[in-house]
Amino acid sequence: MGNYRLYYQTYGTGFPILLLHGANTCLQFMNHSATWELGNWLVDEGFRVVAFDQHGSGQSTHLADFPLDYFDKNANDAIRLLDHLKIKNFGVIGVSEGATTALNLAIHHPERVELVVADSGSYYVTEEMLAVEEDPDNAWPKTWQYLLNEVHGEDYAAELQAARRKLLSRLAENKIDLFQGRLAEIQCPALLTACTGDIYGLNHQARKMGEIIPNAQVKIFRGGDHPVMWNLTDKFSRELKDFLYRILRSA
Protein backbone atom coordinates (compact mmCIF):
# COMPACT_ATOMS: atom_id res chain seq x y z
CA MET A 1 0.00 0.00 0.00
CA GLY A 2 2.36 2.68 -1.26
CA ASN A 3 5.14 3.13 1.29
CA TYR A 4 3.05 1.53 4.02
CA ARG A 5 3.30 -2.20 4.77
CA LEU A 6 0.07 -3.89 5.86
CA TYR A 7 0.24 -7.46 7.13
CA TYR A 8 -2.92 -9.53 6.82
CA GLN A 9 -4.30 -13.07 6.95
CA THR A 10 -7.41 -14.55 5.36
CA TYR A 11 -8.82 -18.02 5.80
CA GLY A 12 -12.05 -19.89 5.20
CA THR A 13 -14.65 -19.42 2.48
CA GLY A 14 -18.12 -17.93 2.34
CA PHE A 15 -19.47 -14.54 3.38
CA PRO A 16 -16.51 -12.32 4.38
CA ILE A 17 -16.13 -11.17 7.99
CA LEU A 18 -13.46 -8.58 8.78
CA LEU A 19 -12.09 -9.16 12.30
CA LEU A 20 -10.45 -6.14 13.97
CA HIS A 21 -8.16 -6.48 16.99
CA GLY A 22 -7.91 -4.09 19.93
CA ALA A 23 -5.28 -1.75 21.30
CA ASN A 24 -1.58 -2.66 21.38
CA THR A 25 -2.29 -6.11 19.97
CA CYS A 26 -1.97 -7.73 16.54
CA LEU A 27 -2.66 -10.96 14.68
CA GLN A 28 0.03 -12.91 16.52
CA PHE A 29 -1.42 -11.77 19.85
CA MET A 30 -4.92 -12.65 18.64
CA ASN A 31 -3.66 -16.18 17.99
CA HIS A 32 -3.27 -16.60 21.76
CA SER A 33 -6.63 -15.09 22.75
CA ALA A 34 -10.36 -15.68 22.50
CA THR A 35 -10.29 -13.60 19.30
CA TRP A 36 -8.48 -16.49 17.59
CA GLU A 37 -11.10 -18.92 18.91
CA LEU A 38 -13.76 -16.63 17.44
CA GLY A 39 -11.98 -16.61 14.07
CA ASN A 40 -11.84 -20.40 14.02
CA TRP A 41 -15.49 -20.59 15.03
CA LEU A 42 -16.44 -18.26 12.15
CA VAL A 43 -14.54 -20.46 9.68
CA ASP A 44 -16.27 -23.56 11.06
CA GLU A 45 -19.61 -21.79 10.59
CA GLY A 46 -18.81 -21.22 6.91
CA PHE A 47 -17.51 -17.65 6.88
CA ARG A 48 -14.37 -16.22 5.32
CA VAL A 49 -12.29 -14.35 7.91
CA VAL A 50 -10.03 -11.41 7.02
CA ALA A 51 -7.79 -9.86 9.68
CA PHE A 52 -4.83 -7.49 9.59
CA ASP A 53 -2.29 -5.81 11.84
CA GLN A 54 -3.70 -2.33 12.28
CA HIS A 55 -1.81 0.95 12.01
CA GLY A 56 1.53 0.61 13.81
CA SER A 57 0.95 -2.90 15.15
CA GLY A 58 2.53 -6.31 14.63
CA GLN A 59 4.10 -6.83 11.22
CA SER A 60 2.55 -3.73 9.65
CA THR A 61 4.70 -0.60 9.40
CA HIS A 62 5.65 0.70 12.84
CA LEU A 63 4.77 4.26 13.84
CA ALA A 64 6.42 6.71 16.21
CA ASP A 65 3.18 8.58 16.86
CA PHE A 66 -0.55 7.98 16.42
CA PRO A 67 -2.53 10.76 14.69
CA LEU A 68 -5.88 11.98 16.00
CA ASP A 69 -7.58 10.36 13.01
CA TYR A 70 -6.02 6.98 13.90
CA PHE A 71 -9.33 5.10 13.72
CA ASP A 72 -10.20 6.61 10.35
CA LYS A 73 -6.78 5.54 9.04
CA ASN A 74 -7.44 1.97 10.19
CA ALA A 75 -10.80 2.06 8.43
CA ASN A 76 -9.11 3.30 5.24
CA ASP A 77 -6.51 0.53 5.52
CA ALA A 78 -9.32 -2.02 5.83
CA ILE A 79 -11.08 -0.80 2.69
CA ARG A 80 -7.86 -0.78 0.67
CA LEU A 81 -7.13 -4.32 1.83
CA LEU A 82 -10.63 -5.52 0.93
CA ASP A 83 -10.30 -3.84 -2.48
CA HIS A 84 -7.01 -5.71 -2.94
CA LEU A 85 -8.80 -8.97 -2.08
CA LYS A 86 -11.67 -8.03 -4.43
CA ILE A 87 -14.19 -8.18 -1.59
CA LYS A 88 -17.07 -5.74 -2.03
CA ASN A 89 -19.65 -6.50 0.65
CA PHE A 90 -18.74 -7.78 4.10
CA GLY A 91 -19.54 -7.85 7.79
CA VAL A 92 -17.17 -6.48 10.42
CA ILE A 93 -16.49 -7.47 14.02
CA GLY A 94 -14.31 -5.21 16.15
CA VAL A 95 -13.14 -5.66 19.73
CA SER A 96 -12.28 -2.76 22.06
CA GLU A 97 -10.60 -0.05 19.94
CA GLY A 98 -11.21 -2.30 16.93
CA ALA A 99 -14.91 -1.70 17.60
CA THR A 100 -14.37 2.02 17.03
CA THR A 101 -12.74 1.27 13.69
CA ALA A 102 -15.60 -1.10 12.82
CA LEU A 103 -18.26 1.55 13.42
CA ASN A 104 -16.26 4.09 11.42
CA LEU A 105 -16.26 1.62 8.52
CA ALA A 106 -20.04 1.37 8.73
CA ILE A 107 -20.32 5.17 8.69
CA HIS A 108 -17.99 5.80 5.76
CA HIS A 109 -18.92 2.79 3.61
CA PRO A 110 -22.63 2.08 4.09
CA GLU A 111 -22.88 0.57 0.61
CA ARG A 112 -20.40 -2.17 1.55
CA VAL A 113 -20.83 -2.95 5.25
CA GLU A 114 -23.78 -5.31 5.68
CA LEU A 115 -23.52 -5.71 9.45
CA VAL A 116 -21.31 -4.52 12.27
CA VAL A 117 -20.53 -5.98 15.68
CA ALA A 118 -18.83 -3.63 18.15
CA ASP A 119 -17.65 -5.34 21.32
CA SER A 120 -16.64 -3.13 24.24
CA GLY A 121 -16.12 -0.05 22.08
CA SER A 122 -16.32 3.66 22.86
CA TYR A 123 -17.07 6.89 21.06
CA TYR A 124 -15.18 9.23 23.38
CA VAL A 125 -12.27 8.93 25.80
CA THR A 126 -12.69 10.23 29.35
CA GLU A 127 -10.26 11.24 32.07
CA GLU A 128 -11.68 8.39 34.15
CA MET A 129 -10.67 5.92 31.45
CA LEU A 130 -7.14 7.37 31.45
CA ALA A 131 -6.97 6.98 35.24
CA VAL A 132 -7.87 3.31 34.86
CA GLU A 133 -5.07 2.95 32.30
CA GLU A 134 -2.51 4.54 34.62
CA ASP A 135 -3.45 2.56 37.74
CA PRO A 136 -0.70 -0.07 38.24
CA ASP A 137 -3.29 -2.44 39.71
CA ASN A 138 -4.81 -2.60 36.21
CA ALA A 139 -1.59 -3.46 34.40
CA TRP A 140 -1.74 -6.22 31.81
CA PRO A 141 -0.88 -9.70 33.12
CA LYS A 142 2.82 -10.52 32.84
CA THR A 143 2.11 -13.25 30.29
CA TRP A 144 0.36 -10.71 28.02
CA GLN A 145 3.17 -8.18 28.40
CA TYR A 146 5.72 -10.89 27.61
CA LEU A 147 3.79 -11.77 24.46
CA LEU A 148 3.60 -8.11 23.39
CA ASN A 149 7.36 -7.81 23.86
CA GLU A 150 7.90 -10.98 21.86
CA VAL A 151 5.63 -9.84 19.03
CA HIS A 152 6.80 -6.24 18.73
CA GLY A 153 10.24 -6.35 20.29
CA GLU A 154 10.61 -4.95 23.81
CA ASP A 155 11.67 -1.45 22.72
CA TYR A 156 8.88 -1.00 20.18
CA ALA A 157 6.27 -2.54 22.50
CA ALA A 158 7.09 0.22 25.00
CA GLU A 159 6.97 2.87 22.23
CA LEU A 160 3.64 1.52 20.99
CA GLN A 161 2.06 1.66 24.43
CA ALA A 162 3.42 5.17 25.04
CA ALA A 163 2.13 6.38 21.66
CA ARG A 164 -1.31 4.96 22.42
CA ARG A 165 -1.41 6.63 25.86
CA LYS A 166 -0.45 9.92 24.21
CA LEU A 167 -3.23 9.53 21.64
CA LEU A 168 -5.83 8.73 24.31
CA SER A 169 -4.72 11.75 26.37
CA ARG A 170 -5.13 14.05 23.37
CA LEU A 171 -8.54 12.58 22.55
CA ALA A 172 -9.71 13.08 26.14
CA GLU A 173 -8.24 16.57 26.43
CA ASN A 174 -9.93 17.73 23.22
CA LYS A 175 -13.17 15.84 23.98
CA ILE A 176 -13.14 14.38 20.47
CA ASP A 177 -16.11 12.40 19.22
CA LEU A 178 -14.49 9.39 17.55
CA PHE A 179 -17.34 9.31 15.01
CA GLN A 180 -17.55 13.06 14.30
CA GLY A 181 -21.22 13.10 15.32
CA ARG A 182 -22.13 10.63 12.55
CA LEU A 183 -23.25 7.51 14.44
CA ALA A 184 -26.84 8.12 13.32
CA GLU A 185 -25.69 7.62 9.71
CA ILE A 186 -25.00 3.91 10.23
CA GLN A 187 -27.49 2.08 8.02
CA CYS A 188 -26.66 -1.59 8.57
CA PRO A 189 -27.76 -3.74 11.51
CA ALA A 190 -25.43 -3.27 14.47
CA LEU A 191 -24.81 -5.39 17.56
CA LEU A 192 -23.20 -3.51 20.44
CA THR A 193 -21.93 -5.61 23.35
CA ALA A 194 -20.44 -4.69 26.71
CA CYS A 195 -20.58 -5.97 30.28
CA THR A 196 -21.35 -4.44 33.66
CA GLY A 197 -17.89 -5.41 34.92
CA ASP A 198 -16.05 -3.48 32.18
CA ILE A 199 -13.16 -1.75 33.90
CA TYR A 200 -13.66 1.35 31.72
CA GLY A 201 -17.43 1.53 32.27
CA LEU A 202 -18.08 1.11 28.55
CA ASN A 203 -21.48 -0.49 29.14
CA HIS A 204 -22.78 3.06 29.59
CA GLN A 205 -21.28 4.20 26.28
CA ALA A 206 -22.73 1.13 24.53
CA ARG A 207 -26.21 2.06 25.72
CA LYS A 208 -25.78 5.65 24.53
CA MET A 209 -24.50 4.55 21.12
CA GLY A 210 -27.44 2.16 20.86
CA GLU A 211 -29.82 5.08 21.29
CA ILE A 212 -28.17 6.92 18.39
CA ILE A 213 -27.64 4.14 15.82
CA PRO A 214 -30.99 3.53 14.06
CA ASN A 215 -30.80 -0.26 13.67
CA ALA A 216 -28.81 -1.17 16.77
CA GLN A 217 -29.21 -4.07 19.16
CA VAL A 218 -27.49 -3.61 22.53
CA LYS A 219 -26.55 -6.54 24.74
CA ILE A 220 -25.12 -5.81 28.18
CA PHE A 221 -23.82 -8.90 29.96
CA ARG A 222 -23.72 -9.12 33.75
CA GLY A 223 -20.24 -9.30 35.32
CA GLY A 224 -17.24 -9.98 33.12
CA ASP A 225 -14.57 -7.42 32.27
CA HIS A 226 -13.09 -5.68 29.23
CA PRO A 227 -13.72 -6.93 26.57
CA VAL A 228 -16.72 -9.27 26.55
CA MET A 229 -15.19 -11.43 23.82
CA TRP A 230 -12.27 -12.40 26.05
CA ASN A 231 -14.05 -12.66 29.39
CA LEU A 232 -17.49 -14.07 28.60
CA THR A 233 -16.55 -15.93 25.43
CA ASP A 234 -19.33 -18.52 25.35
CA LYS A 235 -22.08 -15.98 26.02
CA PHE A 236 -20.65 -13.60 23.45
CA SER A 237 -20.41 -16.36 20.82
CA ARG A 238 -24.05 -17.34 21.32
CA GLU A 239 -25.20 -13.74 20.98
CA LEU A 240 -23.03 -13.26 17.90
CA LYS A 241 -24.29 -16.43 16.22
CA ASP A 242 -27.92 -15.44 16.76
CA PHE A 243 -27.23 -11.97 15.34
CA LEU A 244 -25.26 -13.14 12.29
CA TYR A 245 -27.75 -15.74 11.17
CA ARG A 246 -30.79 -13.57 11.84
CA ILE A 247 -29.36 -10.75 9.72
CA LEU A 248 -27.92 -12.87 6.92
CA ARG A 249 -31.05 -15.02 6.59
CA SER A 250 -33.14 -11.90 6.10
CA ALA A 251 -30.74 -10.41 3.54
Task: Give the model's pLDDT for residue 150.
Answer: 80
CB atoms within 10 A of CB 215: 12
Identify whether 214 is preceded by a cis peptide bond (ω within 30 of 0): no
Distance CA 180, CA 141 (A): 34
What are the distances in angstroms from CA 249 to CA 235, 244, 246? 21, 8, 5
Task: Check residue 187 and give its pLDDT.
Answer: 97
Confidence check: pLDDT of 177 > 80: yes
Strands 48-52 and 113-119, by their bridges, are unpaired
Average pLDDT, the chain: 90
Note the pLDDT of residue 32.
57
Cβ neighbours for 103, distance < 8 A, ≥ 6 positions apart? 94, 116, 118, 121, 123, 179, 183, 186, 190, 209
Nearest to 87 by CA among 47, 117, 118, 119: 47
* Whole-Å CA distances, 236 to 120, 169, 186, 192, 239: 11, 30, 22, 11, 5
Whether pLDDT at 119 is above 60: yes
Over 70: is that where the pLDDT of 69 sits?
Answer: yes
pLDDT confidence of residue 31: 59
Confidence check: pLDDT of 10 > 90: yes
Give the domains, in start order, of the chain with CATH numbers. Answer: 8-250 (3.40.50.1820)
pLDDT of res. 158: 87
Considering only CA atoms, which of 175, 177, 176, 210 is closest in space to residue 194? 210
